[in-house]
């Protein structure tokens, strides 16, 4: 289960901070040299990029305790067919998500204690277990 | 009775919008995907456009002067062919999978995953490696990687956190990161505590074309 403070991050940092982190994540993902994270994001049309930005932003907001306006697919459905491996996911978390948070001024303590659980937990229905759908299953995922 | 042109135009617009809206209903989105509709699926961007997007997204990390060496990964990023890269890095094609646009090879080499990114002419423009290490061994591994790049490229332009047990032991998503930012090469080494027991050590090296070449794409 996510740490209680995960659900307090939106209230603590606010909409503008979440928008900034979301933009950083998108920008870093476009630059990524890996499969899925990189080339998928590089191939987006302007409309697709807007849809992705909206969905990702809304997902981050609800994952960290903000109002639920997410209208995208489930994590499982959204990543079907993308062949995302655990290595791709680990790259995304370490080289996209963590730098996006730290460069936008989120202290290390909040990254570790509050932002980490929703993206690192391994259990049925967790973001990681539902996103990694190719290659060996991450240990701890059903 | 003649229908005014404005009325006919408005009716046509309403009809067109209705058809577009109907086409976007879930049952028809698969068909839209084939037509490269943004809501239906990924449009078929050309390799050249994807490469331009990669370079554009890296611009904020472009440094002032050229890298002292560009062959530090064992190959000259930006000019090495895939075949050359695979041979130099000891990668067996059978251990690799190619992503859908045909631009990234994801290969298992020893205990790590290697990503080789090519441009539209199949030159290797970037590589990344991802490897997991037990928490107890990770600082030494990451420090060795950092030292190798430091001796090749000089001190990093940015460093966040120390590559040691104290930093990585602090908690999940604790991270040490070093970055080199040159005008033609961007490199980062990072060690990230990914769960209770393991650390992910990543290396990323990306070639940047001269701005004049970028403009002519």
- Over 60: is that where the pLDDT of B140 sits? yes
- Any CB–CB contact under 8 A between A39 and chain B? yes
* Residue that wins the pLDDT comparison between B33 and B194: B194
If residue B82 lies in a helix (H) or strand (E), which one and from where to where?
helix B82-89
CB contacts < 8 A, A to B, total 140
* Closest alpha carbon to B153 in B77, B83, B82: B77
pTM value > 0.90? no
- What is the distance of C-alpha B30 from the center of its chain? 27
User: Cα distance from B134 to chain A (closest Cα, Å)?
Assistant: 14
**A94 contacts in chain B (CB < 8 Å):** 175, 190, 192, 194, 200, 202
Say if the Cβ atoms of B130 and A91 lie within 8 Å.
yes
φ, ψ for residue A68 (rounded to 5)?
-90, 100
Cα distances from A74 to residues A70, A116, A139, B27, in angstroms, run 10, 20, 22, 18
Is A116 near chain B, with CB under 8 Å?
A: yes
The number of residues in chain A equals 142
Question: What string of pLDDT tens digits covers the 142 residues of chain A?
Answer: 556 899 999 999 999 999 999 999 999 998 999 877 777 787 788 888 888 899 999 999 999 999 999 988 999 999 988 889 999 999 999 999 999 999 999 999 999 999 999 999 999 999 999 999 999 999 999 9
- Spatial CB neighbours of A21, under 8 Å, sequence gap ≥ 6: A60, A100, A101, A104, A106
C-alpha pair distances (Å), B213 with each of A27, A71, B31, B60, B138? 21, 41, 38, 17, 39
Residue-wise pLDDT for B88-137, tens only, equals 888 888 899 988 887 899 999 988 999 999 998 999 999 999 999 999 99
Tell me whether residues A43 and B44 touch, CB distance under 8 A: yes
Which residue, among B146, B106, B130, has the nearest Cα to B192 in the 3D structure?
A: B130
Residue whose token pair is 């006919």: B8
Paired tokens of B64:
């002032």
Rounded to whole angstroms, the Cα distance separating A45 from B36 reads 9
Q: What is the pLDDT of residues B143-197, one digit of tens each?
A: 998 999 999 999 999 999 999 999 999 999 999 999 999 999 999 999 999 999 9
Write a three-state SS string for B140-178: HHHHHHHHHHHHHHCCCCEEECCCCHHHHCCCCCCEEEE
The whole-angstrom separation of Cα A36 and Cα B183 is 26
């Amino acid at each position: 289960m996510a740490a209680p403070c995960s659900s307090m991050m939106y209230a603590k940092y606010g909409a503008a901070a979440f928008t900034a982190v979301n933009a950083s994540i998108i920008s870093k993902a476009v630059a990524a040299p890996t499969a899925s994270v990189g080339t998928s994001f590089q191939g987006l049309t302007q409309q697709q990029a807007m849809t992705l930005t909206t969905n990702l932003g809304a997902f981050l907001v609800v994952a960290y305790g903000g109002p639920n306006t997410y209208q995208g697919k489930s994590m499982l459905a959204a990543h079907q067919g993308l062949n995302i491996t655990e290595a791709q996911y680990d790259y995304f978390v370490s080289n996209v998500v963590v730098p996006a948070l730290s460069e936008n001024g989120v202290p290390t303590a909040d990254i570790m204690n509050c932002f980490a659980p929703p993206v690192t937990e391994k259990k049925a229905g967790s973001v990681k277990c539902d996103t990694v759908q190719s290659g060996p299953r991450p240990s701890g995922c059903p | 009775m003649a229908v005014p042109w404005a009325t006919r135009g408005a009716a046509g617009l309403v009809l067109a919008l209705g058809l577009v809206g109907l086409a976007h209903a879930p049952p028809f989105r698969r068909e839209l995907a084939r037509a490269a509709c943004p809501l239906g699926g990924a449009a078929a961007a050309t390799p050249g456009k994807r490469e331009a997007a990669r370079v554009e997204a890296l611009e904020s990390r472009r440094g002032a002067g050229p890298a002292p060496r560009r062959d530090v990964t064992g190959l000259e990023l930006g000019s090495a062919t895939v075949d050359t890269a695979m041979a130099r890095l000891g990668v067996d094609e059978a251990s690799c999978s190619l992503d859908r646009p045909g631009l990234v090879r994801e290969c298992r080499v020893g205990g790590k995953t290697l990503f080789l990114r090519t441009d539209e002419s199949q030159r290797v423009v970037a590589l990344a490696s991802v490897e997991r290490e037990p928490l107890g061994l990770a600082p030494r591994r990451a420090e060795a990687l950092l030292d190798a790049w430091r001796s090749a490229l000089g001190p990093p332009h940015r460093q966040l956190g120390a590559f040691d047990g104290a930093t990585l032991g602090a908690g999940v998503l604790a991270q040490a990161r070093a970055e080199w930012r040159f005008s033609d090469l961007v490199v980062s080494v990072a060690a990230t505590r990914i769960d209770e027991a393991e650390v992910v050590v990543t290396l990323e090296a990306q070639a940047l074309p001269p701005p004049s070449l970028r403009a002519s794409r």
